[in-house]
Amino acid sequence: MSGPAPILTGFRQSVYTRVVRIALAEKGVAHDYEEHDPFAPDAQGPHPFGRVPVLRHGDFRIYETAAITDYIDRAFDGPALMPEGARPAARVAQVIGIVDAYGYWPLVRQVYSHAVYRPALGEPCSSDIITEGLASAPRVLCALDSLVEEGLVLAGGFTRADCHLAPMIAAFSDAPQGAAMLGDFPRLAAWWAAARERPSVMSTQTPLSPGGPGR
């Protein structure tokens, strides 16, 4: 699709902003970027619910990360981010659903935020919250590990499922406790060992800075 370059509004520490940045990198889409801190006082921004990311493409504005990556895949040239076939496509949607509904909170908001992010910024953190996250994480990791084993997704080709999952596992494994637990799920760990070396994943790493791991 021709037209002006899309504009991504995001927060540099947001795992969901990184999802979109990975998708744009995989498609080779040149874009502009606007930083918006959703945690700042009275920071509404372009998202009606005060979150990030938001993508603008000409007069079209879209929010919600899964909707954005679907649009990016359909609207721009480049390698397809969805596999052919009903079952592989359904598994992509399933991985995205697992990440959003069950993975983000324990992996990112509990373990990563309180074991890595908050300590790095000198902010209060809670060992109880880390423990809660670590207690919930195995069910999520087990479900994903079984999908890797099945081979319809997270198994070679790079899809929207990989785009959505990579930032979550990156954050979780930044915590020593998370990295140790990931090792208990060898197929998922092998997927991450390969995914973390992908140029789109490497180029979207962001050093810690003030703010938070918001979506």
- Give residue 210's pLDDT: 47
How much is the average pLDDT of 173-201?
98
15 in Cβ contact with 213 (< 8 Å):
yes
The pLDDT of residue 95 is above 50: yes
Of 34-38, 56-60, 176-180, the least confident: 34-38
pLDDT value at residue 3: 76
pLDDT digits (tens, 9 = 90+) for 69-89: 999 999 999 999 999 999 999
* Domain layout of the chain by residue ranges: 7-75, 86-202
The separation between CA 26 and the C-alpha centre of its own chain, rounded to angstroms, equals 14
| Residues 6+ positions from 86 with CB-CB distance below 8 Å | none
Can you state the angle between helices 127-150 and 86-98, rounded to 10 degrees?
A: 170
User: Taking 60 as the threshold, does the pLDDT of residue 212 lie above it?
Assistant: no
pLDDT at 211 over 50: no
pLDDT at 209: 55
- List beta partners, residue 142: none
pLDDT digits (tens, 9 = 90+) for 98-154: 999 999 999 999 999 999 999 999 999 999 999 999 999 999 999 999 999 999 999
CATH architecture assigned to 86-202: Up-down Bundle (1.20)
Q: Which pTM was predicted?
A: 0.95
* 7-75 fold: Glutaredoxin (3.40.30)
pLDDT, mean over the chain? 94
Q: Is the Cβ–Cβ distance between 23 and 81 less than 8 Å?
A: yes
- The secondary structure of 112-155 as a DSSP string is IIIIIIHHHHT----HHHHHHHHHHHHHHHHHHHHHHHH-SSSS
